[in-house]
Structure 1
Amino acid sequence: MSGLPDGLMDAFWDYERALMADDLEAMDRLFAPGSQTLRGDADGLVVGHDAIAAFRRTRVAPPPRTIVETHVQAVDDDHALVVAVTAPAKGGRGQQTQLWRRGPTGWQVTAAHVAIPAPPLDGRVWRVVGDPLLPGGPGPLSGESVAVKDLYAVAGHRVGAGNPTWLAEAAVETDHADAVARLLAAGAAVRGISRTDELAYSLAGTNAHHGTAPNPAAPGRIPGGSSSGSAAAVALGHASIGLGTDTGGSIRVPASYQGLWGLRTTHDAVPRAGLLPLAPSFDTVGWFARTPDLLARVGDVLLPPAAADPTTGSDLVVVPALLELADPDVREAVRAYADDRGALVEDWPLDDLADWRIAFTQWQAWEAWRAHGDWLRERLDCLGADVRGRFRMAAGISAEVADGARAVGLAARARIRDLVADRVLVLPSASSVAPLLGSDLAAVREATLRLTCLAGLAGLPGLNVPLTTADGLPAGACLVAAAGRDRDLLEIGRRG
């Protein structure tokens, strides 16, 4: 390798040793500082030294490999492209492409792309997948494919609920859940069973057992949960329809984080037969799609017929106090969406919102422990830390506290329905863009629940309309209407 820039290959091998040792400090030092440094792989592109460093601190340590070949093209004395062919210990061939620059402290990587052998199954997204798992037939959804959240019964398979212990003890289902059966009858194929956060008790999508599904719209950021697998499958193009659920925001939040259309249906509008519950007073069927047209076509299959005397008011309403609950970048994107459509601005009496959020959390927790406490009592340690903490809190909710929360929640339900009336409320689907991997998610969860609990408490439908912030990150406007107006929301989405 005569003629190579001095010190280049020494730096290359220093990086390779650091990578194999998972020496984060050395890898950070060998990547150039600044906001223009790039690192990409099949999950997407991460931009900026600090974002790359944060990504490394959350990903699984790289698997063992050897360098089979190296090829160098020197651009000049201070810049060079190095392409390495890698041999993972598990087999196959990979490739690593790095652009190196010599600076005052030596050689550093300014851009890198990593390619590894594709797994036969991305276990972060799917538990079971087929080609397809269950074929479709003739019907209005013929040619479409569905990712089924691992809470719905699929005949011949077990419900795993995002937890290996639950899966190991589950019985094989003999019948499809109602929603699955109807999608199949309409001609859609089931592509597979997608991952969920454990027992659906999360909004993050960071499953402690199976990893964090990629967010192709915002690499290096969480996908949102608990319908994380279904959302990621749609965003990645693995399936065209993602069947999920929404109790506290598990359709609206992943859709917002990943730039998808998503509908949380009116409570009880779509039967929940064959669906593993979390909190039955709030659990709803929902789904994702990449286009509003397909989202509406799924609604034609799953939703009840339109009411004979429908509520047809189409005035959009935006409430500044609700916008203020979101981060500035999300707030401005939602405000621009509302302004462009002539939304009315109203001040709503929301002094009780903090109490409503607490009531929602306590009522949900009470029902979650009623649903799963008997099974979990001796198995809490099988849960990841975040979900385990929520169930421990749920176990401590007394009947008296639950009754008080229910009373506050029912009063909130009536008040929210009165305020929405025959209009369409526009508010942020989540309080922020998708947080970076490794972020402290507790505060984000609480902030988002202040927004998502409104439709949850009131049992109202919510449509996520994908937006983009000024920085180019996915965000969402949530359109909330009166109970039973799901089809109206879908039509608004179609009109744009």
Structure 2
Amino acid sequence: MSDDAPEGLLEAFWAYETALMSDDLETLDALFADRPDTLRGDAAGVLVGHETISRFRGSRGGAPRRTIAEVHVRVVDATHALVVAVTAPERGGRGQQTQLWERTEVGWQVTAAHVAVPAPAVDTRVWRAVGDPLVRPGTGPLSGESVAVKDLFAVAGQPVGAGNPTWAANAPVESSHAWAVQTLLGAGASVRGIARTDEFAYSLAGTNAHFGTPPNAQAPGRISGGSSSGSASAVALGHATIGLGTDTGGSIRVPAAYQGLYGMRPTHGSVPTAGLMPLAPSFDTVGWMTRDAGLLRRVGSVLLPAAAPRPLRDVVVVPELLALASPDVRAAVEGFLGAGPRGGTGWGGDGGTVVEESWDLPETWPEVFRVHQAAQAWQSHGWWLRTRLDSLGADVRSRFEAAAEIDHDTAVQAADDAARARDAVRRLVGDRVVVLPSAPTVAPELGADLGEVRAATLRLTCVAGLGGLPAVSVPLTTSDGLPCGVCLVGPPRRDLDLLDLVTGPLHA
């Protein structure tokens, strides 16, 4: 049943529907009120503002095909009406679209809309394979927890897909689990499924050209962060409690920051990489993400070598690193520092200090990291990619093409430079904790140019990467309510002490 529709309303509604099915962005923009408080919501979250909604539409490549099964109108007042449409998606099921229309000086326009569609059995942007569970666990300290395994780790009975369908189609079925997977299973955590990754883990964005961008539950309309993107999204969405991933150049820390998670990158080599597809072995680490600090620490007690606790007391803030962040992220990190433990208890016990220390950071470090990583990436995968570069998405392909051009002498020089940088970073950190932004910005919006963001991100993430140091990303929120992260980089082999700091003084 419907009230009589006001004059022109249904004509505007059908114009909107026609524009939606033809991806007529200009008409869609005109039919949504050009206001900062215009709303569009769906299962992924709410987008606020005409400009934000317009960018979302422009980046998604059109809406799924559907027809309208029913239309109901309820008049609110002389200038407002509610339209509820029942939709029939081509892929089956029933959906619904609810729109609040307002009569404006240019005609009827949508001021708020909510879209509901039938949920897919599996969100293939997040998962390559999923079960309930996919692999059953033993019993132990992680009983009741579930793991989203990045699609680089061997899972018995499954191929390693590496985020690339051509590779996955020819990959052998694994006969045994990777060390990290087997260890988590032995501790009682089940494997919920195998989560998407950027192709060969050679990205920090999460925008897989073949399978799409895993949704960012904490920041709808923005990228998820990569390359452990699927694992991060699975945890943020509540599909799993532990995201098992890797961090070579920031692939735990960045998605954790973008999606409001805790993320752990351990000391290089402290967690065995057996059964893991490499990208750059000099930098590759096995890491994990969780929604709370306590579980992050519990996973660490399972995966990391046992060690006698030695509290980390002294914290250093480097202005040159803090300055690399955007103003909103920098303010969030400064707020974290201002709220941190002070005085007698310090950050890790009696006598702790928080000091500001200027570092003369070499401008060449990000380039040293990039070249050394690239040379190893081509050494790891060039044998297969040499005749298959066209199977890659454009951004990852461009990186591998550049990697293929690195000659032997350049690769050797980069390795030598990286070794010197490693020693320098460890001297600067000493026996302290360095606080810096996990990523320089909040998650960029879908469709944004990510070249500058990637370069800026590597300037921050390469510090722990070159040093081979443990780093924990702690979730923060900007003044606009968007997730970001603060990174705590600690001394080598002090991983558990760093986790104790996060779950102790900082968590109190």
Q: What is the TM-score of this pair, normalised by structure 1?
A: 0.98
Residue 320, structure 1, aligned to residue 319, structure 2 = yes
Residue 23, structure 1, aligned to residue 32, structure 2 = no
SS in 1 for 2:11: helix
Residue number in structure 1 paired with 2:411: 402
Bigger mean CA offset, 3-12 vs 173-182 = 3-12
Bigger mean CA offset, 310-319 vs 207-216 = 310-319
Residue number in structure 1 paired with 2:109: 108
Counterpart of 1:348 (choices 339, 358, 363) is: 358
Question: 1:101-136 CA distances to partner (integer Å, 9 max, x unpaired)?
Answer: 010100000000101111011000000000110112
Residue number in structure 2 paired with 1:284: 285
Distance 1:116 1:313 in 2: 50
Report how far residue 311 of structure 1 moved: 5.2
Query: Which letter does structure 1 place at the counterpart of 2:138?
Result: G
Residue 484, structure 1, aligned to residue 493, structure 2 = yes
SS in 1 for 2:416: helix
Report how far residue 400 of structure 1 moved: 1.4
When the two chains are superposed, the root-mean-square deviation of aligned CA atoms in Å is: 1.1
SS in 2 for 1:159: coil
The answer to whether the Cα contact below 8 Å between 1:312 and 1:422 also exists between their aligned partners in 2 is: no
The answer to whether the Cα contact below 8 Å between 1:136 and 1:143 also exists between their aligned partners in 2 is: no
Report how far residue 345 of structure 1 moved: 3.4
Distance 2:360 2:462 in 1: 13
Residue number in structure 2 paired with 1:265: 266
Question: 1:227-272 CA distances to partner (integer Å, 9 max, x unpaired)?
Answer: 0000000000000000000000000000000000000011000000
Residue number in structure 2 paired with 1:206: 207
Residue number in structure 2 paired with 1:329: 328
Q: Across the two proteins, how many residue pairs are aligned to each other?
A: 493
Between the aligned residues of both structures, percent identity stands at 64
Residue number in structure 2 paired with 1:297: 298
Bigger mean CA offset, 335-344 vs 9-18 = 335-344
The answer to whether the Cα contact below 8 Å between 1:428 and 1:451 also exists between their aligned partners in 2 is: yes
Distance 2:438 2:464 in 1: 11
Distance 1:448 1:345 in 2: 24
Bigger mean CA offset, 411-420 vs 281-290 = 411-420
SS in 2 for 1:124: coil
Report how far residue 346 of structure 1 moved: 2.7
Distance 1:240 1:115 in 2: 26
SS in 1 for 2:287: strand
> Where in structure 2 are the equivalents of 1:16-415 lying within 5 Å?
16-307=17-308, 312-341=311-340, 342=342, 344-352=354-362, 354-415=363-424
The answer to whether the Cα contact below 8 Å between 1:72 and 1:82 also exists between their aligned partners in 2 is: yes
SS in 1 for 2:498: helix
Query: Which letter does structure 2 place at the counterpart of 1:413?
Result: R
Distance 2:262 2:280 in 1: 24
The answer to whether the Cα contact below 8 Å between 1:146 and 1:192 also exists between their aligned partners in 2 is: yes
Long gaps (5+) in structure 2: 343-352
SS in 1 for 2:96: strand
Distance 1:340 1:2 in 2: 55
The answer to whether the Cα contact below 8 Å between 1:311 and 1:422 also exists between their aligned partners in 2 is: no
Report how far residue 475 of structure 1 moved: 0.6
SS in 2 for 1:416: helix
SS in 2 for 1:82: strand
Distance 2:97 2:321 in 1: 46
SS in 1 for 2:122: coil
Distance 1:77 1:349 in 2: 64
Report how far residue 399 of structure 1 moved: 1.4
Residue number in structure 1 paired with 2:477: 468
Query: Which letter does structure 2 place at the counterpart of 1:71?
Result: H
Distance 1:351 1:419 in 2: 10
Query: Which letter does structure 2 place at the counterpart of 1:325?
Result: L
Q: What is the TM-score of this pair, normalised by structure 2?
A: 0.96
Report how far residue 402 of structure 1 moved: 1.4
Distance 1:359 1:155 in 2: 37
Distance 1:121 1:2 in 2: 39
Query: Which letter does structure 2 place at the counterpart of 1:196?
Result: T
Report how far residue 2 of structure 1 moved: 6.3
Residue 438, structure 1, aligned to residue 447, structure 2 = yes
Distance 2:465 2:407 in 1: 22
SS in 2 for 1:13: helix
